[in-house]
Amino acid sequence: MQSDDLEMETLNAVDDWGDYAPVIAELGQQEQAPFEEPPKEDKTQLQGDSVAGLLDVAFTLVEQVTSSLSGVKFRFDDEGKTAVIDAAKPVFTKNSGELLELFGDYIDEATLIIAVFGLVWGSKAQLAALKQEKREREHAKETAIVEAA
């Protein structure tokens, strides 16, 4: 056994790293901070943002439908739209958003789908209006040629 002790003393004498036992003991005594979960996103804020997006898309669709039906380019006042959206957020949040519950956790996806359908419908309506304009111009051009002859 003495040879083992002698070997340990020889190894310790050659060890340039020093004795870490006190440092390890101190680390073991330090209080460990409890595991903290990352902060969860504020559901109220997310609902408000979802409502704002849905209402913005709804206003855009109403503008497109009104423009299509009237034949005149129609737009809501931007300040008025913003005021309505800001006023609607707390109402939806306060009433736990029955509309939001209808869509569940997929309100943002539903808003995207509605927006895409609105864009397609609006583009189709605009294309029909442009075709009608082109027909009217061609008809006016043909009429002008006939009258000139």
- Tens of pLDDT, residue by residue over 77-111, are 888 888 888 888 887 777 665 666 777 777 778 87
Q: What is the pLDDT of residue 102?
A: 74
**pLDDT at res. 57:** 87
100 and 107 Cβ atoms separated by less than 8 Å = yes
Helix, strand, coil fractions of the chain, as percent rounded to 5 = 80, 0, 20
pLDDT at 74: 84
pLDDT digits (tens, 9 = 90+) for 29-38: 765 655 566 5
State percent of the chain over pLDDT 70: 70
Alpha-carbon gap, residue 8 to 140, rounded angstroms: 108
Higher local confidence (pLDDT), 3 or 101: 101
Q: What is the pLDDT of residue 56?
A: 87
Mean pLDDT of the chain: 75
- Cα torsion through 117, 114, 73, 140, rounded to 10: 10
Burial 103-135 (b: 16+ CB within 10 A, else e): eeeebeebbeebbeebeeebeeeeeeeeeeeee
Give the whole-angstrom CA distance, residue 111 versus residue 134.
34
Which has the higher per-residue pLDDT, 57 or 103? 57
The residue-averaged pLDDT of 107-128 equals 81
CA angle 50, 69, 138 (to 5 degrees): 125
| pLDDT given at position 11 | 57
Percent of the chain with pLDDT over 90: 2
pLDDT one-digit tens code per residue, 11-30? 555 555 666 677 777 777 76
Q: How far is CA 32 from CA 25, 28, 121, 149, in A?
A: 14, 9, 60, 98
Q: pLDDT higher for 123 or 18? A: 123
